């Protein structure tokens, strides 16, 4: 799950907005999302997220989301054990976490608490 950590130009929380959802997708709070064919989809491992889900929903026509901006930092966890380097770009895992894979990475590591599965990582997109 991606959770807002901070914005580099201020500490205000991101604005919530309503965006067209895909009624066949089950969304969870903190899912990394992209827009596909005019509707939200979960981000793949190398998709740079456009939004983070702000609510849990299934079968909804619209979803509350946070728009991802380059000045924002997001907390998540490491899905597989591995050493992360600050400044490296890593891939996503199941639209909810990051991996230690840097090939085609989209999430820039800002800080990392460790190298074990579940350790906290702060990233920006």
Token pair, residue 96, equals 């909810």
Instruction: Please check whether residues 26 and 81 belong to one and the same domain.
Output: no
Strand-pair category, 32-36 with 107-112:
unpaired
Instruction: Please check whether residues 22 and 77 belong to one and the same domain.
Output: no
Distance CA 101, CA 10 (A): 30
Instruction: Please check whether residues 63 and 100 belong to one and the same domain.
Output: no
> Which pLDDT belongs to residue 11?
64
Token pair, residue 16, equals 């919530």
Instruction: Please check whether residues 57 and 106 belong to one and the same domain.
Output: no
Binning pLDDT at 50, 70 and 90, where does residue 12 land?
Answer: confident
Instruction: Please check whether residues 17 and 58 belong to one and the same domain.
Output: yes
Q: What is the pTM of this model?
A: 0.93
Can you say whether the dihedral through the CA atoms of 91, 84, 124, 120 is positive or negative? positive
Domain that holds residue 120: 72-124
């Amino acid at each position: 799950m991606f959770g807002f950590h901070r914005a580099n130009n201020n500490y205000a929380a991101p604005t919530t907005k309503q965006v067209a959802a895909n009624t066949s997708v089950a969304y969870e709070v903190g899912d990394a999302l992209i827009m596909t064919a005019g509707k939200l989809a979960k981000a793949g491992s190398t998709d740079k997220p456009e939004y983070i889900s702000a609510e849990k929903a299934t079968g909804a026509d619209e979803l509350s989301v946070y728009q991802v901006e380059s000045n924002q930092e997001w907390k998540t966890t490491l899905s597989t054990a591995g050493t992360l380097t600050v400044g490296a770009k890593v891939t996503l895992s199941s639209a909810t976490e990051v991996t230690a894979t840097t090939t085609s990475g989209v999430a820039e590591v800002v800080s990392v608490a460790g190298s074990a599965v579940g350790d906290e990582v702060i990233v920006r997109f």
